Chains A and B, each alone.
Chain A
Amino acid sequence: MTDTATSLPTRTSGAVAGPRPPLARRRPSARARLRTVLKHAVLIAFGLIMIYPLLWMLASSLKPSALIFRDPSLLPSEIDMSNYTVGWNALSHPFSHYLLNSAVLVLGALLGNLVSCSMAAYAFARLNFKGRKIWFAIMLMSIMLPIHVVIVPQYILFSQLGWVNTFLPLIVPKLLATDAFFVFLMVQFFRGLPRELDEAARIDGAGHVRIFAQVMLPLSVPALATTAIFTFIWTWNDFFHQLIFLTKPDMYTVPIALRSFIDSSSESSWGPMFAMSIVSLIPLFLIFLLGQKYLVKGIATTGIK
């Protein structure tokens, strides 16, 4: 059975194929070109469908609330920024307060993860100690643990410590390398670094601490960047933990503030809500634009979402 097309368009395939398309100048590439055009068309169309909800939200944030559901077009007939000002001030604090809270949280989580996870990774990758394999297996398994098994006792613990309604329950675990995913990520990376560098440093008289700080870390920028980026995204979006530990309006972070938006105002003020939603997504989008390289590599090599 012959196959009418092969995976790569070649010069010969066109000649053996069916009737020539009418306007073809060079027989082989016309068919291929058509296919490429079609391919792009499909990809673009599909991409548009995917992105459409986001575009619609953006457009809606620029329309007066009343028009949002009546006028479905993506291009607002009049650009109205009032949703942004209304939304900014709709809750008991200006939205910047919540952005700041989220930012502080993210910063703490970032520092925690970067420091503690890289340290733990160094131990697993470069140190030889008793029970290493077992501890490593335990670390891997902890990645798969559903958080709900630990959330109730964690809550009780933090509540007894008086840490509820502070950022501590959200940051301290990061300082203790509980995001095992990043430990794993960095172990993989460290293992890829040649041991000769370690040896060279050791000959120079460096102990583990110096090797870690002066040899491994500087070379690990990609892994650190990936860790940083994913920590940022996950923390920025983490609704569940913030919902549970931050109950005072003062301490609200962006996800909680957004949700209380719909909680505390009537269902008809969508415009301001969309506006603030857009505002909350901007940092993610920026990270996406700037950190794509690391995002993609990070996902591809370790399968993190």
Chain B
Amino acid sequence: MSLPTSPRRLARPGVRLAAVTVAAALALAACAGSDSGADPTSATDAADEEVTIRFSWWGSDSRHALTQQVIDAFEAKHPHITVEPDFTTWDGYWDKLSTSIAGGDAPDVITQEERYLREYGTRGVLLDLGEVEDTLDTSGIDPSVAESGSFDGATYGVATGVNAYVVLADPQAFADAGVEMPDDTTWTWDDYVEIATKISEASGGTVFGTQDYGFNEPAFSIYARQHGQSLYKEDGSLGYKDSLMADWWKISLALQESGGQPEASRSVEIDGAGPEGSLLGTNTGAMGVWWTNQLGAISKASGRELQILRFPGESESKRTGMYFKPAMYYSIAKTSKHPEEAALFVDFLLNSTEAGQLLLSDRGLPANLEVRTAVTPSFSDADKQSAEFLEGLREDIVDGVAVPPVGAGEVVPLIKRINGEVLFGQITPEDAAAKFTSEVTAATQK
């Protein structure tokens, strides 16, 4: 989403006046007294008035079911509040959100993400959560992510949990192909390609070694960090060399050519299919890159116990590349008519053991430390694995990743498109890297 980050005032008042006059004239002439149909009038007092708030999130089927259960639990506790669910898949989420906001109809509680949070915050769309801190208590949040939603003197979002970008592997697929599970602390990128290729060959092409990693930029972020560079620097500028990105793409192309990953149009299809439709999820692949909190959904879809591996190349180059990410954020819309109720709901989501027990690791390893300790025993095997994995990772993670600059949200469709061009052979990796750099620069370095 490209927006003016420095709002320019209208140079000539006459022009603004003209625009306003046009709008006013049009408004005057329209018929009055129309029934706008939907919401109950805003309650100034939270107490016992019937209130409806809207909660938006993205995800796949299993997340929706889980979240509905949490909503039900909350509504049972606060009978006068109704939470209206508003969910889509990741792909459509941001367009829909911006249209809703433009329509003056933002959800009350918005699930946010680091690539967009800054932008929405500076646009003036999100409420400073400091204003509802009596209701929404953030003191119990994991210190490593507690401040991640704060900038410019306000807190625009609270982290829901912690996760990491990892390789998920299907031990059974490995066994079927007669390939040994690698040592994830030492394996290199060449190993990754080799293993994937071997698995594909062994299965005669019915089970692929891995799924393409280029549709999402965290994989590049890790690769860059391993080489001592980074996607973004602390000051928001770009921190990598184009040649490095070209190399990163060459690995995908090598995999595509060797058959280690599916051919281009299949990769495009799979990318759109989410966790449940992935290679791992449909038992047609042995590896894939995902966030740790997606392990549950994919395991369930695959019907198998999957294993978490560190990214290849962690000990190959200059340093480790993996990092902890604040999985998502909860924010409240500034235009919300019921900020108190919204804050109550977010507080429930983050700080109550009840919600924690239902969500487990779906939004990342729970951000509230007390909740985390309380619910860990109830973790599914998959979640336990994630938790242990993240603990194990803690020693080797050197530093965090810089908060993405405003406009970083545009990278999401951008890299999908350019990755597609690379996979279909329409553009060389070098040109793709240059194109990526120039477009990301245009989007973020304004």
User: So, do A and B actually touch in the complex, CB under 8 Å?
Assistant: yes
* Residues on A facing B (Cβ under 8 Å): 92, 156-157, 159-168, 172, 244-245, 247-251, 260, 263-269
Q: Are A167 and B37 in contact (CB under 8 A)?
A: yes
| Interface pair B84/A157, CB less than 8 Å apart | no
**A269 vs B61: C-alpha distance in the bound complex, in angstroms?**
10
Does B150 belong to the interface (CB within 8 Å)?
A: no
User: For residue B276, which residue of chain A has the nearest CB?
Assistant: A266
Interface residue ranges of B73-108 to A (CB < 8 Å):
84-89, 91-92, 96, 99-100, 102-105
Total of A-B residue pairs, C-beta within 8 Å: 83
User: Known contacts being A247-B99, A247-B100, is A166 close to B34, with CB within 8 Å?
Assistant: yes
| B26 surroundings in chain A (CB, below 8 A) | 157
CB-CB nearest in chain B for A92? B85
Q: Known interface pairs A159-B102, A172-B31, A264-B87. Does A248 touch B276 (Cβ–Cβ under 8 Å)?
A: no
Give the CA-CA distance A251 to B105 in the complex, in Å.
12
Write out the residue numbers on chain A whose beta carbons fall within 8 Å of the beta carbon of B100.
247-248
- 8 further contact pairs, Cβ within 8 A, besides A161-B27, A248-B105, A268-B273: A92-B86, A157-B23, A159-B102, A166-B35, A166-B37, A168-B34, A249-B85, A267-B272
- Rounded to whole Å, the gap between the CB of A88 and the closest CB of chain B is 17
A266 in contact with B273 given A157-B23, A168-B34, A250-B38 (CB within 8 Å):
yes
The answer to whether B38 and A251 touch across the interface, beta carbons within 8 angstroms, is: yes
Q: State the Cβ distance, A260 to closest chain B Cβ, in Å.
A: 7
B11 lies within 8 A of chain A by Cβ: no
Are B36 and A166 neighbours in the complex by a CB distance under 8 Å? yes
Determine if A266 and B61 form an interchain contact, defined as CB atoms under 8 angstroms apart: yes
- B105 to A247, Cβ gap below 8 A? yes
Q: How far is the CA of A157 from the CA of B23 in the complex (A)?
A: 6
17 pairs, CB–CB < 8 Å, chain A vs chain B = A159-B103, A161-B27, A162-B36, A164-B104, A165-B103, A168-B34, A168-B36, A247-B96, A247-B100, A247-B103, A251-B38, A264-B87, A265-B61, A265-B64, A266-B89, A266-B274, A267-B273
Within 8 A of A (CB), among B12-53: 23, 26-27, 30-31, 34-38
B307 lies within 8 A of chain A by Cβ: no
CA distance A165 to B104 in the complex (A): 9
Q: Which residues of B contact A244 (CB under 8 A)?
A: 99
Bound-state Cα–Cα, A229 to B88, Å = 34
Chain B 57-77: CB-based contact to A (< 8 A → 1; otherwise 0)? 000110010000000000000
Residue contact A160 to B273, C-beta cutoff 8 Å: no
Measured as residues with beta carbon below 8 angstroms from the partner, the interface class of chain B is: 35 or more
Q: Are A249 and B84 in contact (CB under 8 A)?
A: yes
Give, as a whole number of angstroms, the nearest-CB distance from A46 to chain B: 30
Whole-angstrom distance between the Cβ of A171 and the nearest chain B Cβ: 10
CA distance A251 to B91 in the complex (A): 22
- When C-beta atoms are compared, the residue in chain B nearest to A249 turns out to be B86
Interfacial chain A residues near B36, Cβ < 8 Å:
162-163, 165-166, 168
- B277 within 8 A of partner (CB): yes
Contacts of B92 in A (CB 8 A): 263
**Complex contacts, A268 vs chain B, CB 8 Å:** 273, 276-277
- How many angstroms between the C-alpha atoms of A72 and B381 in the bound complex? 39
Chain B residues near A260: list those with CB within 8 A.
Answer: 88
B interface vs A, CB < 8 Å?
23, 26-27, 30-31, 34-38, 54, 60-61, 64, 84-89, 91-92, 96, 99-100, 102-105, 272-277
Q: Give the chain B neighbours of A250 by CB distance below 8 A.
A: 38, 84
Give the CA-CA distance A30 to B245 in the complex, in Å.
Answer: 74
What is the CA–CA distance of A91 and B347 in the complex, to the nearest angstrom? 26
Shortest distance from the beta carbon of A284 to any chain B beta carbon, whole Å: 25
Q: With A263-B88, A265-B61 as given contacts, are A172 and B102 in contact (CB-CB < 8 Å)?
A: no
Contact A157-B105, Cβ < 8 Å, known A247-B99, A263-B89: no
A267 touches B274 (CB 8 A): yes
Known: A166-B34, A166-B37, A250-B38. Is A264-B105 also a contact (CB below 8 A)? no
From B23, B37, B99, residue with most partner A Cβ within 10 Å: B37
Of A164, A172, A251, A266, the residue contacting B30 (CB under 8 A) is A172
Residues in chain B near residue A162, CB distance under 8 A: 36, 104
Would A164 and B85 be within 8 Å (CB), given that A247-B96, A268-B277 are in contact? Answer: no
Complex Cα–Cα for A74 and B92 (A): 33
Query: In the complex, A285 Cα to B413 Cα: how many Å?
Result: 38
When C-beta atoms are compared, the residue in chain A nearest to B31 turns out to be A172
For the complex formed, measure the closest distance between the CB of B219 and the CB atoms of chain A, giving whole angstroms: 22
Docked CA distance A264–B105 (Å): 19
What's the minimum C-beta distance from B85 to chain A, rounded to whole angstroms? Answer: 5
Residues of B within 8 A of A247 (CB): 96, 99-100, 103, 105
A248-B272 contact in complex given A164-B105, A263-B92, C-beta closer than 8 Å? no
Q: How far is the CA of A121 from the CA of B71 in the complex (A)?
A: 54
Chain A residues with Cβ below 8 Å from B99 are 244, 247
User: Which 8 residue pairs of A and B lie closest in terms of their CB atoms, listed nearest first?
Assistant: A164-B103, A266-B276, A267-B273, A263-B88, A247-B100, A263-B92, A267-B277, A166-B36
**Contact in complex: A165, B105 (CB < 8 Å):** yes
Per the bound structure, the CA–CA distance linking A147 and B10 in Å amounts to 28
B37 to chain A, nearest CB (A): 5
Interface pair A248/B38, CB less than 8 Å apart: yes
A90 CB, min distance to chain B CBs, angstroms: 10
| A163 CA to B27 CA, complexed, in Å | 11
Set of chain A residues within 8 Å of B30, measured between Cβ atoms: 161, 172
Residues from chain B with a CB closer than 8 A to the CB of A265 are 61, 64
Q: How far is the CA of A167 from the CA of B34 in the complex (A)?
A: 10
Nearest CB of A to B290, in Å? 15
**Which residue of B has the minimal Cβ distance to A266?**
B276
